[in-house]
Amino acid sequence: MDQQQQQSAIQGAKVLMVGAGGIGCELLKTLALSGFHDIHIIDMDTIEVSNLNRQFLFRRSHVGQSKAKVARDAVLRFRPHINIRSYHANVKNPEFDVDFFKQFDVVLNGLDNLDARRHVNRLCLAADVPLVESGTTGFLGQVTVHVKGKTECYECQTKPTPKTYPVCTITSTPTKFVHCIVWAKELLFAKLFGDKNQDNDLNVRANKAASSSEQTEDIFERAEDEDIEQYGRKIYDHVFGYNIEAALSNEETWKNRRRPRPIYSKDVLPESLTQKNGSTQNCSATSDDDSATVSAMPLLGLKNPQELWGLTQNSLVFIEALKLFFAKRKKEIGHLTFDKDDQLAVEFVTAAANIRAESFGIPLHSLFEAKGIAGNIVHAVATTNAIVAGLIVIEAIKVLKKDADKYRMTYCLEHPSRKMLLMPVEPFEPNPSCYVCSKTPLVLEINTQKSKLRDLVDKIVKAKLGMNLPLIMHGASLLYEVGDDLDDIMVANYNANLEKSLSELPSPVINGSILTVEDLQQELSCKINVKHSVILVSRNLSVDRSLNFIYSSNQKCAESFRIGPLLSIHVRRFRHPLVIMFCHREEFDEEKEPEGMVLSGWTQSPATNGESASTSNNESAVDVTESSSGPEIASKKRKLSETQPENHKRETENVESEDDDDLVEIENPMTVSKKKRVA
């Protein structure tokens, strides 16, 4: 009987849950009710008030405690006899190695970040344990099944990474409110209250028109006895007035752009604020105020975080918040990083962003909205999490019964599509060019003379390839590794290597070199083939950036294209396993290639809404915030059921064939051809 088979599969199962938050609470509850009785759960977070609207296993009295532990205790209250083991830890910790994962029959993810998801994906592949992935944002949700060898792994289709912005957009030419937020948060707030030793682009631009860098430094440093309000106004005038005027002096920048207007405090605020608002002086007398509750808004009579403030109010908040930092939280200055739960920091950043927005003619936003953007807050409700949890358990049961034909990816939509609010889709077969689950070449175009090993490690190996504890070898020579068992000489050696350019390493990495990159914990290994050739892709040449590289997988064999008078692309196709081709590049387009990295051969994600984390759903939204991986419905890859033996043969034999190859998509007017797969 099918029921009995199902029951025995459930009862015999040992399940790992990663994440005890929104999805996790609902999932743990549903698993317990469904008869699962051996569940392990990992979560590194503690409970916050904003969790309580949906993470129903938690109460106000639990704030500050471990999510995994409290979730366990809550579920045991209505299912006292099941076995739940909780881990208050980061799933990326070494204790959760392949052997740890191997003990489970299925792994269920309820995570909120791409990084951890990729990590778990790799461990599940290494341990050969099926993975059920999921994500929700607002009313949208999805559940996917990943079984090694049978379906795509989580990384077969590229997931959109968090949006980053070109430095010049942030420092000089903002056009959207989010640019102003990033400026206020990463530059101004960091400069005023953060680590003084950190590089800060705010300096760079300020210096441009300054006669001496010394002069500029003085402005941000506050003298011992300098009046706080004076200091505040000085900063205000410098960043909103002087800096803007300096930027305006560069005509070229503003040829086709709206000119910002400089704003000076004398034009917006009354001469002295302390007369109007004597309470600030009183505040500084009491030193026993809890720093967490210090706030500018009440002092200014502002109560509603959803209210839109005008320029004057924003300016008042700016000065007041700055004053409060110096008056009440002096000790923290120099060590602060922006925290969305730090009310004063949020007030300051909102005000600063709004004043800048006003200057550039960008619409202002309320504190509530600004907080969402600055804090990358994901909007969330209980219902979607509950639905997704139900779907996860259903897939988990299919996996345990090894009912491969029934595996589905299920999308939870806000509005019906062809009458469906819950849309099941058959999973796709593994992507043969996925560098994670199949052994595929990667092409890396890099300036081997200028780029340092550090750039390769940070920007490619860790950030793009998602490796946690990398090891890099060139032939027999170990260029870099991390570990607890290294002696001081080795560590010093590796640190020295990091600062060298690739071509200057003890074992020089040049055109034609092959690198092996590994992460032992994830059991992932890649080979990188280095090729040094001149390449220029974009017509809009701009300032060379210190690290320039592109990489892609599977490029078409021996074709070159002329783009402009001096430009040509060499694109080569590889059938060798795990080869990354390096192609040297001098210049990158700052607007389109902000990181100086062009990832060719990766699926481009659709229009991102990354900046408006606080707005609710668009009609056609494919949600791109990290936690969701929104519905990717229009994929044209082959589904499991359509797989024919003949097709497999065709793939490996015919290297020259057009249709099943991944072609390079380079982001520029002369695109070679679009990728076949559409996200």
Partner 1 sequence: MKKNSLDKEVLLSRFSRLNLRMDGEELTEQETALYDRQIRVWGANAQRRLTKSHILVSGIKGTVAEFCKNIVLAGVGSVTLMDDSLVNEEALNANFLIPPDENAYKGKTVAEICCDSLKDFNPMVLVSVEKGDLSARSTEFFEKFDVVVIGYGSLATKKAVNEKCRKLSKRVAFYTVDCRDSCGEIFVDLQDYKYTKKKLEEKVECELNFPSFQEAVSVPWKPIPRRTAKLYFAMRVIEVFEENEGRKHGECSLLDLPTVLEIKKKLCEANSVSESLIPDSLLERLITGTIEFPPACAIVGGILAQEVIKAVSGKGEPLKNFFYYDAQDGKGVMEDISNSFTS
CB 9 within 8 A of CB 401: yes
- Tokens of residue 444, six digits: 């890396």
612: how many CB neighbours lie within 10 A of its CB?
Answer: 17
CB 557 within 8 A of CB 654: no
Q: Is 383 in the site for partner 1 (CB under 8 A)?
A: yes
Q: Is 5 in the site for partner 1 (CB under 8 A)?
A: no
Judge whether 19 is annotated as a binding position: yes
Judge whether 153 is annotated as a binding position: yes
Region near partner 1 per CB under 8 A, out of 373-381, 462-470, 509-517, 554-562: 373-381
Could you give the string, one character per residue 385-424, with x where binding to partner 1 holds by CB under 8 A and - elsewhere? -xx-xxx-xx-------------x-x-x-xxx--xxxxxx
Q: Which helix (H) or strand (E) holds 327?
A: helix 311-328
Closer Cβ to partner 1, 74 or 436, answer by number: 74
Q: Is 384 in the site for partner 1 (CB under 8 A)?
A: yes
Alpha-carbon distance of 310 to 346, in angstroms, equals 17
Region near partner 1 per CB under 8 A, out of 229-237, 253-261, 382-390, 481-489: 382-390
Closer Cβ to partner 1, 375 or 601, answer by number: 375
Region near partner 1 per CB under 8 A, out of 163-171, 187-195, 222-230, 374-382: 374-382
Helix (H, G, I), strand (E, B) or coil at 430: coil
Alpha-carbon distance of 394 to 132, in angstroms, equals 10
Q: Is 207 in the site for partner 1 (CB under 8 A)?
A: no
CB 195 within 8 A of CB 333: no
- Tokens of residue 216, six digits: 């500029």
Judge whether 53 is annotated as a binding position: yes
Window 76 to 105, contacts with partner 1 (CB under 8 A): 77-80
Closer Cβ to partner 1, 137 or 216, answer by number: 137
Q: What angle do CA 570, 574, 578 make, to 5 degrees?
A: 120
Q: Is 49 in the site for partner 1 (CB under 8 A)?
A: yes
Q: Is 631 in the site for partner 1 (CB under 8 A)?
A: no
Judge whether 475 is annotated as a binding position: no
Q: Is 59 in the site for partner 1 (CB under 8 A)?
A: yes
Closer Cβ to partner 1, 23 or 263, answer by number: 23
CB 293 within 8 A of CB 246: no
Closer Cβ to partner 1, 43 or 369, answer by number: 369
Window 127 to 156, contacts with partner 1 (CB under 8 A): 138-139
Active-site residue, from 25, 124, 168, 583: 168
Closer Cβ to partner 1, 19 or 594, answer by number: 19
CB of 408 to partner 1, least distance (A): 5
Q: Is 380 in the site for partner 1 (CB under 8 A)?
A: yes
Q: Is 72 in the site for partner 1 (CB under 8 A)?
A: no
String of DSSP letters for 141-171 = EEEEEE-TTTS--TTSSPPPPPP---HHHHH
In residues, how long is the chain? 679
CB of 8 to partner 1, least distance (A): 16
CB of 394 to partner 1, least distance (A): 5
Q: How many residues bind partner 1 (CB under 8 A)?
A: 57
CB 525 within 8 A of CB 442: no
Alpha-carbon distance of 317 to 361, in angstroms, equals 20
CB of 418 to partner 1, least distance (A): 9
CB 149 within 8 A of CB 430: yes
User: DSSP state, 436?
Assistant: T
Q: Is 113 in the site for partner 1 (CB under 8 A)?
A: no
Closer Cβ to partner 1, 120 or 387, answer by number: 387
Could you give the string, one character per residue 343-372, with x where binding to partner 1 holds by CB under 8 A and - elsewhere? -------------------------x---x
User: DSSP state, 258?
Assistant: P
Task: Name the nearest CA neighbour of 146 among 441, 321, 407.
Answer: 407
Closer Cβ to partner 1, 16 or 391, answer by number: 391
Could you give the string, one character per residue 287-306, with x where binding to partner 1 holds by CB under 8 A and - elsewhere? -----------------xxx
- Measure Cα distances from 346 to 247, 337, 358, 367, 637 in Å: 27, 11, 18, 7, 44
Helix (H, G, I), strand (E, B) or coil at 231: helix
Alpha-carbon distance of 479 to 610, in angstroms, equals 36
- Measure Cα distances from 181 to 168, 302, 417, 607, 609 in Å: 14, 21, 36, 20, 15
Judge whether 123 is annotated as a binding position: no
50: how many CB neighbours lie within 10 A of its CB?
Answer: 12
CB of 29 to partner 1, least distance (A): 6
Q: Is 56 in the site for partner 1 (CB under 8 A)?
A: yes
Judge whether 141 is annotated as a binding position: no
Q: Is 160 in the site for partner 1 (CB under 8 A)?
A: no
Backbone angles phi, psi at 663, to 5 degrees: -100, 160
Side-chain half-sphere CA neighbours of 507 within 13 A: 15
Helix (H, G, I), strand (E, B) or coil at 602: coil
Q: Is 331 in the site for partner 1 (CB under 8 A)?
A: no
Helix (H, G, I), strand (E, B) or coil at 10: helix
Q: Is 19 in the site for partner 1 (CB under 8 A)?
A: no
Q: Is 614 in the site for partner 1 (CB under 8 A)?
A: yes
User: DSSP state, 505?
Assistant: S
Q: Which helix (H) or strand (E) holds 421?
A: strand 420-425
168 labelled catalytic: yes
> Within its chain, how far is the Cα of 133 from the centroid?
18
CB 317 within 8 A of CB 298: no
Region near partner 1 per CB under 8 A, out of 71-79, 109-117, 206-214, 439-447: 71-79
Q: Is 449 in the site for partner 1 (CB under 8 A)?
A: no
Alpha-carbon distance of 185 to 375, in angstroms, equals 10
Judge whether 116 is annotated as a binding position: yes
Closer Cβ to partner 1, 604 or 608, answer by number: 608
Alpha-carbon distance of 424 to 409, in angstroms, equals 6
Residues annotated as part of the active site: 168
Annotated binding site: 19-24, 43, 51-54, 67, 112-117, 153, 156, 434, 437
Which stretches of the chain bind partner 1, using CB under 8 A? 26, 29-30, 32-34, 49-50, 52-54, 56, 59, 77-80, 138-139, 304-306, 368, 372, 377-384, 386-387, 389-391, 393-394, 408, 410, 412, 414-416, 419-424, 613-614, 616-619
Binding site for ATP, residues?
19-24, 43, 51-54, 67, 112-117
